[in-house]
A and B are shown apart, each in its own frame.
Chain A
Amino acid sequence: MISSAAAKVKVDPRDAKLSMAHFFVAFGALAIGGLMGLLQTLVRSGKFELPWGIGYYQILTAHGVLMGLVLTTFFIMGFQYAAVSRTAGTHSPAARRTGWIGFWLMTLGTLMAGVMILLNEASVLYTFYAPLQAHWIFYLGLTFVVVGSWVDGAAQIMTYAKWRKNNPGQPSPLLSFMAVINTVMWIVATLGVAATVLFQLLPWSLGLVDTVDVLVSRTLFWYFGHPLVYFWLLPAYMCWYAVIPKIIGGKIFSDSLARLSFILFLLFSIPVGFHHQLTEPGIDPAWKFLQVILTFMVIIPSLMTAFSLFATFERYGRSKGATGLFGWLRVLPWGDARFIVPFIGMASFIPAGAGGIINASNQMDQVVHNTIWVTGHFHLTAATSVVLTFFGISYWLVPHLTGRKLTKAMNKLGIIQAWVWFIGMAFMSGAMHFQGLLGGPRRSAFSTYGDSQQALDWIPYQIAQAVGGTILFIGIILVLVIFINLAFFAPKGEEEFPVGEAENLQEKAPMVFENWKLWLGIAAALILFAYTIPFIDIIQNAPPGSKGFKTW
């Protein structure tokens, strides 16, 4: 009874508008970024050169910023804003206004950074490592994106807080809880990047100071850089844990364990940034290894997630009379884009996760560090698991927000889109993984390195990447067609916002999970533990600073 009433709950149209605004920017970024991605693979094949003097690293910067920062942040904020509105109730006018301010700040920042990239004033890639020095407007734009995301996230927190006040002693709705965890993690993590941009890079690019401490800047960046990838992943997990069960007609395997895994992400995804700096000088190997251990802790919630998802599927399958060890796989709704698109994303997380464990394994990183293997890796994690899940979400969320319906034709196109993506990525990411193991570097335009035999051996893999990139670009066109259809042209109707229910309703989630003082306290303690001493070391033993370089 409750569930049928809940199924009809709609996101308020005023909230829907703000979510959709986010999605327009996100899919716009996908369109441009996708074109850049295609061009990169073509250039790297050696068979194609960019026209009009456009630089490879200029388009690579655009691709990284648009895909890694803009598409993800805008989609996530739009999705979480809608998820909170759907499960914790319509946002108050104050919260909505906050959300809009955040949205416009982020959009303004994106435009500023984008213009600087277009003018070739900021070809520093999306990681903007000093002492490469971009135009100050680029850094200021990124600041606006980050600060805007804080304001945007505050809207979700306000509505969550209101729900908690109105429902004392009750565990908050699962999706709202998860959204707020992700937002809080994001705020804590972005403090690092905000610190380096505001206190180091901005004054330095404005000429107020002459030099920058490179290692401090990198350390602050990677304090943010790892939780950044979890910020992308957790909304996908929200869908897998809390939405997919409803779509297939099953139940959430365990509400409490889902919350527990999100709390573990909050605690362990931040104090681990050194695993991106394993081959760097200036950091003590013991502290690197300590953060490697903490990195391995953050694998545990993903192990829990894997179990929960299989269990949800198996429970559902068996309830439909499936037998045998894997009979339940057969009864899953393979014809439903809302299920299969994220499902392909989940399946891709198996090789993606395995690759991640390898990357994080201390000295084993020397085999793969900054090779194109890494690019292959995050095109599985971010550009497949996460992005396909986001596509799957938009196939019901966009029509839900625009008062339309996902038609049979679009459903079918969605399924085709996901398979096209999967095949393209198998070529591109697969070839990147193997080329990387042979030593092929990432972030590099085509080169034979003075006709070195090793470099010549890489070329076939680069051609395979171009084949994959071309297929992927078809996938981008398909998803844009579907998005535009669902936003503007699909028939009017009601599309459900699916929200799963726990299998065991008697089991109330422990209230300690909502004790933010406790979790933020532990998170802060872990961060201080992992970073204080090495960070002081880095500052105390710092070499002379670096002046800025513009080498592009």
Chain B
Amino acid sequence: MHMHKFEKIWLIFGISCLVIFLTVVGVSAFYMGNKPPSCLTTIDPEKVDQTKPFDKPGLHKVEGKEWDYELVYVASAFSYQPAQVEVPLGAKVKVMATTKDVIHGFEVAGTNINMMLEPGYISEYTTTFDKAGEYLIVCNEYCGTGHHLMFSKIEVVK
């Protein structure tokens, strides 16, 4: 099998680009803590309301952790608890969410907070809310007739 010189040049160039892309995201994920949301904790989906911390949805200040606040959401067709929160600008927040019924999405539009909520699993993402403004949380995975009516709001305030 014979390969043209230019094709070799192209493949070396192309594969190098791919390796660079992978290195950039790999280093960012595993050395800088930007892994995609992959929480491994499970929960009984029928007992969400009785299980900590989901028995108290909302924003909670915490002490002695790497983050300042925990923002806890419970999703079910077709709403999120809480429906509205205010987060202080610059706060480092661990967002924790789960679903009581079908699969839902949890996307804070215009941010990197974008994760699937699956029955039986807790989804988490930790980030610093460093831009003020009103943010819409949308359900971005189909969950039924009211899917496009399922939202919540976060206000990041000074």
Contacts and interface: CB of A to CB of B under 8 A. Distances in A.
Contacts of B109: 438-440, 454-455
Contacts of B36: 278-279, 285, 288, 362-363, 365-366
A439 B34 CA distance: 19
Given A369-B140, A439-B138, A441-B105, A280 B145 contact: no
A166 interface: no
A516 interface: no
A442 B140 CA distance: 6
Interface in B98-130: 101-103, 105, 107, 109-124
A450 B137 CA distance: 11
Contact of B29 (A215, A363, A455): A363
Contacts of B89: none
A446 B148 contact: yes
Nearest to B110: A439
Given A363-B25, A443-B141, A551-B77, 5 more contacts: A131-B119, A215-B120, A299-B18, A366-B114, A370-B107
Contact of B40 (A218, A282, A363, A549): A282
Interface string B4-20: 10110011001100100
Contact of A132 (B34, B102, B105): B102
Contacts of A260: 1
A549 B101 contact: yes
Contacts of A371: 107, 140
B2 interface: yes
A543 B118 CA distance: 10
Contacts of A446: 148
Interface in A300-320: 300, 303-304, 307-308, 311
A541 B148 contact: no
A285 B115 CA distance: 13
A497 B137 CA distance: 53
Contact of A546 (B6, B22, B119): B119
Nearest to B2: A507
Contacts of A214: 103, 118-120
A256 B2 CA distance: 8
Contacts of A522: none
B31 interface: no
Interface string A417-453: 0000000000000000000001111111111011011
Contact of A549 (B7, B77, B117, B136): B77
A283 interface: yes
Interface of A: 55-57, 123, 125, 129, 131-132, 214-215, 218, 254, 256-257, 260, 277-285, 288-289, 292-293, 296, 299-300, 303-304, 307-308, 311, 357, 361-367, 369-371, 438-447, 449-450, 452-455, 504, 507, 509-510, 541-546, 549, 551-552
Interface of B: 1-4, 6-7, 10-11, 14-15, 18, 21-22, 25-26, 28-30, 34-46, 77-78, 101-103, 105, 107, 109-124, 134-136, 138-149, 151, 153
The 4 closest A-B pairs by CB, nearest first: A551-B144, A543-B120, A439-B109, A543-B42
Contact of B21 (A361, A449, A452): A361
B102 A551 contact: yes
A304 B34 CA distance: 32
Contact of B114 (A55, A282, A369): A369
B38 A296 contact: no
Contacts of B28: 363
B38 A544 contact: no
A254 B2 contact: yes
B1 A256 contact: yes
Interface centre among A311, A438, A441 (most CB of B within 10 A): A441
A545 B121 CA distance: 11
A453 B14 contact: no
A167 B2 CA distance: 24
Contact of B118 (A281, A285, A370, A440): A281
